[in-house]
Amino acid sequence: MKNGQCLEVLEGHRDWVCAVAVDWSQMRALSGSRDTTLRLWGLPSSNRSSMCLGVLEGHTDTVWTVTADWERMRGLSGASDRRVRLWDLTECTSLMDFEGHSDAVRGVYAGWGHGLAVSVSTDTSLRLWNIECGSCNQVFEGHAEAVLCVSADFEQRQALSGACDLCIRHWDLSTGACIACLISHTGWILSLSVDWAQRVAASGSADMRIRLWDLDSAVCIQCLSGHKDCVTALEIGG
């Protein structure tokens, strides 16, 4: 990581790799692919080479998003088959299938300690799930087009979602109400990262720009340009 060199290439998926979640402390990773599978990986370390630890099968279409609870060895994924799946990462088996979305699930954000997760879909909605039993606690509607990304804080009971309608919506997870609409991008909102403690968010868009937002005022405080194409992923430190 220090010199930016590629240490190793992990091969096994038969199509695009659309999402990755990493546990750097134990050198493990979970990936999701257009080949409909997830793969659990052991990353290279001082005493081993990289290896595929297991293939997780159950989705029937592109897996767009994955997240993991490495302590409990649980994973969540969302796919174009309209489902969110809960996985046992120790056994590499599907534990539960969350049904409710009517189109592709493009993002999932989990609050493992709270037993909750938020998913977003091209059906224009967000759904709040109880991870323990798979029930949908709430449906959030307001976006006019496909919702592509999400971030949440389950302590504050708030979430942000970004969509193809050029709008970022700030939600109250307790009431289902939209607190604010953050509008400045001129292209689809493709990625979000939030520092909930500092009340600052960053968004990446198909307009090739990154925007920083003050969540309390719903105002864009800075616009960063330089990319020559869509900003598909980003992360801000908290």
What tokens were used for 186?
A: 């001129």
Q: Are residues 147 and 238 located together in one domain of the fold?
A: yes
Q: Cβ atoms within 10 A of the Cβ of 234, count? A: 15
Return the pLDDT at 6: 86
* Residues 160, 77 share a domain: no
- Same domain, residue pair 224 and 147: yes
Q: Tell me which residue range forms the domain holding 178.
A: 142-238
Residue 39 counted as domain residue: yes
Q: Of the candidates 78, 103, 128, which is a domain's last residue? A: 103
Tokens encoding 201: 């968010």
Tell me whether residue 99 is in a domain: yes
Count of domains for the chain: 2
Q: Are residues 78 and 153 in the same domain?
A: no
Q: Is residue 192 part of a domain?
A: yes
Spatial separation of the C-alpha atoms in residues 202 and 193, rounded to whole Å: 5
The helix or strand, by DSSP H or E, that contains position 172, with its residue range, turns out to be strand 167-172
**Domain match, 159 and 68 both:** no
Q: What angle do CA 174, 179, 180 make, to 5 degrees?
A: 155
97 and 154 co-located in one domain: no
Q: In terms of domains, do 99 and 146 share one?
A: no
- Residues in the chain predicted with pLDDT less than 70, given as ranges, are 1, 238
Same domain, 168 and 89: no
- Among 194, 199, 187, smallest CA distance to 227 is for 187
Q: Has residue 129 been placed in a domain?
A: no
pTM score? 0.95
Contacts of 108 (CB under 8 A, 6+ apart): 65, 66, 67, 76, 77, 78, 84, 117, 118, 119, 120, 150
The pLDDT assigned to 204 comes to: 98
**Residue 118 resides in a domain:** no
Nearest to 156 by CA among 104, 191, 111, 124: 111
Q: Are residues 72 and 161 in the same domain?
A: no
- Residue 116 lies inside a defined structural domain of this protein: no
Is 6 domain-assigned? no
Asked if 85 and 67 count as a contact pair (C-beta separation under 8 A), the reply is no
Q: What is the pLDDT of residues 38-81, one digit of tens each?
A: 999 999 887 778 999 999 999 999 999 999 999 999 999 999 99
In a domain, 133, yes or no: no
Strand order in the sheet with 17-23: 17-23, 28-33, 38-42, 51-56
Same domain, 152 and 95: no
Kindly calculate the radius of gyration of the chain based on its CA atoms and give it in whole angstroms: 18
pLDDT of amino acid 1? 62
Same domain, 92 and 160: no
152 and 99 in a common domain: no
